């Protein structure tokens, strides 16, 4: 049926000029919004009562296939101690021939398991486990022996501990990802699509690290919409695929705070003398921006520490006037100084940020404090950034944290630094209209506005700042079609 009427006593359009208790949808677009609309007899009516209707959520930074693989391979995100991790690994290997693992978060002041510990679990089966931030990992001797040619004599490998950082981690991680089968990737893609729809997303940004993986995604017929980013140092590869965007977590200027590889202007508080790791030379990054701009590609570059952000800002300033960067975006920007906030504003740079990081690692007792000391109060400065008119799009950085915009909204309004908390409406905006602006699709989606695509999420209750943490996704509608509904099997092809 081409006509739908959606009714609710609580519709938040995220368009200050549009209000009402009814939304009329024709085919894939919103035809009208208002109170008690007139409608033709053949309309299909969905009355959601007191449930809240919002624009469909957008997650603008997702490591697409890795997110699905996390739910297929060994997943350590529920392991809260080293003992739990080692036991879970032992249990996994009873029925599996290897561990290619995701998501272990060492307790504060603890490290990844060592080579010797992993060898005790198995000295015959490969074990490779990534830290939760995705920027370091650990291996056993079986893996070491098979990858000696890769990890020997390169930066970032500790042969005694079996720990991988920086270049060593990147190379070994790529090795395991590249050997993933076509069948397994297709299965992973379907998992991501289902999880995202169940979380209220109508669109996710797909960060893809390989050309062949991108081709597979472009050929896929998924229920979730994707915004494709090819992570490559060769912008022409994105252009050849017909993409309008390039970047994501490659180029990567630095690492992460958890792995002490984010690039800082001052030493790490818990490791004096260390200011992180520069992952790409400035002149290479500049040339990448130059080439991407010449090709008319929008850009996104990973930078977490303030010194890494300095490098991006410097490159963008140095581009010639006749070759400006096309709508640049910085991924993460977890630590910013006041001057950088002003420059990001003046240069009209948008940011892709992850509010759940503050829930997990923020506050005076969290990892940010352990790594940064008093600088933890300068992490993820949502209030300051919004007050400066900077566009922030919300994301999960999945596989790092699960795709879950509701959790991100809760985290943003409950920032552990009260000075950086934002309102419920502003937090919703991170994952709706602001996310659409950060992807330059806000003329088509991001708010409930007549003429825009009918991308809609329904929550199971009326919401406010005190009860948002108990709200759940009830229905997800993508371009006018119901793709997820909590209460039954109703689903539209």
**DSSP per-residue letters across 407-437:** HHHHHHHT-SSGGG---HHHHHHHTTHHHHH
Residue 1 has pLDDT above 90, yes or no: no
Mean pLDDT of 395-412: 98
What confidence score (pLDDT) does residue 155 get?
86
Residue 427 confidence (pLDDT) above 90: yes
- Rounded to whole angstroms, the Cα distance separating 6 from 223 reads 21
Pick the more confident residue, 327 or 355: 355
Domain extents in the chain:
1-56+447-493, 74-178, 182-446
CATH class of 182-446: alpha beta
Half-sphere exposure of 152 (CA within 13 A, CB side): 6
Percent with pLDDT over 90 in the chain: 92
Per-residue pLDDT at 493 exceeds 60: no
User: Taking a C-beta distance cutoff of 8 angstroms, is the pair 33, 73 a contact?
Assistant: no
pLDDT tens for residues 263-312?
A: 999 999 999 999 999 999 999 999 999 999 999 999 999 999 999 999 99
pLDDT of residue 25: 97
Res. 491: pLDDT tops 60: no
**In this model, does residue 436 exceed pLDDT 90?**
yes
Torsion-angle region of 214 (φ positive above 0: left; ψ -120 to 50: alpha; else: beta):
alpha
Is the sign of the CA dihedral 272, 273, 277, 280 positive or negative?
A: positive
Q: Which of 261, 263, 267, 274 is nearest to 372 (CA)?
A: 267
Q: Check pLDDT > 80 for residue 43.
A: yes
Q: How far apart are CA 194 and CA 202, in angstroms?
A: 11
What's the chain's average pLDDT?
95
- Identify any residues that bridge with 208 across adjacent strands, giving them in sequence order: 230
Decide if pLDDT at 489 tops 60: no
Q: What is the pLDDT of residues 164-213, one digit of tens each?
A: 999 999 999 999 999 999 999 999 999 999 999 999 999 999 999 999 99
Q: What is the pLDDT of residues 98-132, one digit of tens each?
A: 999 999 999 887 899 999 999 999 999 999 999 99
Q: Which residues contact 118 (CB under 8 A, 6 or more apart)?
A: 89, 127, 129, 138, 139, 140, 141, 162
What confidence category does residue 148 fall into, taking pLDDT thresholds of 50, 70 and 90? confident
pLDDT level of residue 488 (50, 70, 90 thresholds): low
Residue 325's pLDDT is 82
Task: Select from 3.40.50.2300, 3.10.310.70, 3.30.70.2190, 3.30.930.10 the CATH code of 74-178.
Answer: 3.10.310.70
Asked whether the predicted pLDDT for residue 245 surpasses 60, the reply is yes
pLDDT band at 82 (very low <50, low <70, confident <90, very high): very high
The encoded tokens of residue 395 equal 């994301």
Fold of the CATH domain 1-56+447-493: Urease, subunit C; domain 1 (2.30.40)
pLDDT for the residue 274: 98
The sign one gets for the Cα dihedral 365, 369, 371, 373 is negative
* pLDDT bracket for residue 2 (50, 70, 90): confident
Confidence of residue 407 (pLDDT cuts 50, 70, 90): very high
Instruction: Read off the pLDDT of each residue in 348-366 and give the average, rounded to a whole number.
Output: 97
Mean pLDDT calculated for residue range 475-486: 96
The token pair that represents 246 in the structure block: 């390039």
- Going by pLDDT thresholds of 50, 70 and 90, the confidence category of residue 492 is low
DSSP string spanning 249-307? EEEES---TTTT-S--SS-BTTBTT------S-HHHHHHHHHHHHHTT-EEEEEE-SHH
The reported pLDDT for the residue numbered 149 is: 81
- Please report which confidence band the pLDDT of residue 38 belongs to, taking 50, 70 and 90 as the band edges: confident
pTM for the whole thing?
0.94
């Amino acid at each position: 049926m081409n006509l739908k009427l959606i009714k609710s006593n609580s519709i938040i359009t995220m368009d200050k000029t549009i209000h009402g208790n009814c939304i009329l949808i024709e085919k894939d677009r919103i035809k009208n919004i208002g109170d008690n609309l007139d409608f033709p007899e053949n309309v299909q009516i969905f009355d959601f009562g007191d449930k809240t209707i919002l624009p469909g959520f957008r997650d603008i930074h997702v490591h697409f296939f890795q997110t699905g693989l996390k739910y297929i391979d060994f997943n350590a995100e529920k392991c809260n101690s080293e003992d739990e991790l080692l036991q879970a690994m032992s249990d996994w290997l009873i029925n599996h021939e290897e561990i290619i693992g995701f998501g272990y978060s060492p307790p504060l002041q603890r490290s990844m398991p060592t080579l010797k510990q992993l060898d005790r679990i198995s000295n015959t089966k490969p074990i490779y486990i990534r830290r939760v931030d995705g920027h370091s990992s650990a291996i056993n001797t079986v893996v070491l022996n098979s990858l000696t040619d890769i990890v020997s004599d390169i930066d970032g490998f500790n042969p005694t501990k079996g720990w991988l950082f920086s270049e060593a981690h990147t190379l070994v991680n790529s090795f395991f990802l590249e050997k993933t089968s076509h069948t397994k990737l297709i299965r992973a893609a379907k998992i991501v699509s289902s999880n995202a729809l169940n979380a209220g997303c109508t669109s996710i940004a797909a960060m893809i690290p390989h050309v062949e993986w991108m081709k597979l995604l472009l050929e896929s017929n998924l229920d979730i919409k994707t915004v494709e980013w090819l992570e490559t140092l060769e912008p022409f590869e994105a252009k050849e695929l017909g993409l309008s965007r390039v970047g994501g977590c490659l180029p990567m200027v630095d690492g992460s705070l958890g792995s002490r590889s984010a690039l800082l202007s001052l030493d790490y508080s818990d490791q004096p003398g260390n200011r992180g790791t520069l992952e790409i030379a400035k002149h290479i990054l500049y040339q990448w921006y130059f080439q991407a701009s010449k090709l008319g590609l929008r850009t996104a570059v990973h930078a977490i520490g303030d010194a890494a952000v300095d490098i991006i800002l410097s490159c963008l300033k140095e581009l010639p006037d006749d070759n400006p960067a096309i709508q640049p975006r910085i991924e993460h920007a977890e630590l910013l100084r006041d001057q950088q906030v002003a420059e990001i504003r003046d240069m009209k740079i948008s940011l892709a940020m992850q509010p759940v990081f503050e829930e997990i690692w923020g506050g005076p007792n969290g990892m940010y404090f352990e790594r940064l000391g008093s600088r933890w109060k300068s992490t993820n400065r949502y209030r300051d950034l919004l007050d400066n008119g900077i566009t922030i799009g919300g994301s999960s950085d999945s596989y790092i944290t699960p795709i879950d915009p509701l959790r991100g909204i809760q985290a943003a309004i409950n920032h552990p630094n009260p000075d950086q908390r934002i309102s419920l409406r502003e937090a919703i905006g991170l994952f709706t209209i602001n996310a659409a602006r950060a992807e330059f699709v806000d003329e088509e989606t991001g708010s409930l506005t007549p003429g825009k695509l009918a991308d809609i999420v329904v929550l199971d209750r009326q919401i406010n700042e005190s009860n948002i943490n108990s709200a759940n996704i009830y229905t997800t509608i993508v371009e006018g079609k119901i793709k997820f509904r909590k209460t039954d099997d109703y689903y539209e092809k």
